[in-house]
Amino acid sequence: MARVELTAQRGKIEARIGEDTIFFKSSGAESEIGHWPTEYILAALGSCFSGTVFSYARTKGFPLEKVMVALEGEVVSGPSRIASITMEVEFLGNLTRAEKEQLLAVGERACTVMNTLRRGVETITTRLRD
């Protein structure tokens, strides 16, 4: 199970992931360090997709050298959310068009973050700590 511990106070929101700390921007907490949470969602999607593709390419012996991903998310209100995401992918290496299309299909099908975003989280439980 994935676990993140987060602390928010005026001027700073930080999340601990293992031994690492990342910072978030928030207008409500007047925090200007780090990045917006929506940017981290896009980064998580791109990194998950890329890692999935590299893993598959290795098992198939595809000469994949680099994956370049550019993501844009359209943020809307009512309720506030990312309504759509556009992801442009470039595969570098001595790959055929068919291999590139296969990598794209596998990334879309097997990336955990993409599956979560497309299908939604089944349960989110919020409770007060004692």
Residues 11 and 40 in one domain: no
- Residue span of the structural domain in which 77 resides: 36-119
Task: For residues 14 and 24, state if they share a domain.
Answer: yes
**In the predicted model, what is the mean pLDDT of residues 47-51?**
98
**CATH number, domain at 48?**
3.30.300.20
| 114 and 62 housed in the same domain | yes
What pLDDT does 26 receive?
86
> What is the pTM assigned to this prediction?
0.92
In contact, 33 and 12? CB cutoff 8 Å: yes
CA distance 109 to 4: 25
Both tokens of 60, joined, read: 């198939």
Task: Compare 4 and 27 and report the one with higher pLDDT.
Answer: 4
pLDDT of residue 11: 84
Same domain, 71 and 104: yes
pLDDT in tens, 71-116: 999 999 999 999 999 999 999 999 999 999 999 999 999 999 999 9
Helix (H) or strand (E) holding 122: none
* 79 shares a domain with 28: no
The count of domains in the chain is 2
Question: pLDDT tens digits, residue range 50-82?
Answer: 999 999 999 999 999 999 999 999 999 999 999
Residue with tokens 């890692």: 51
SS3 106: helix
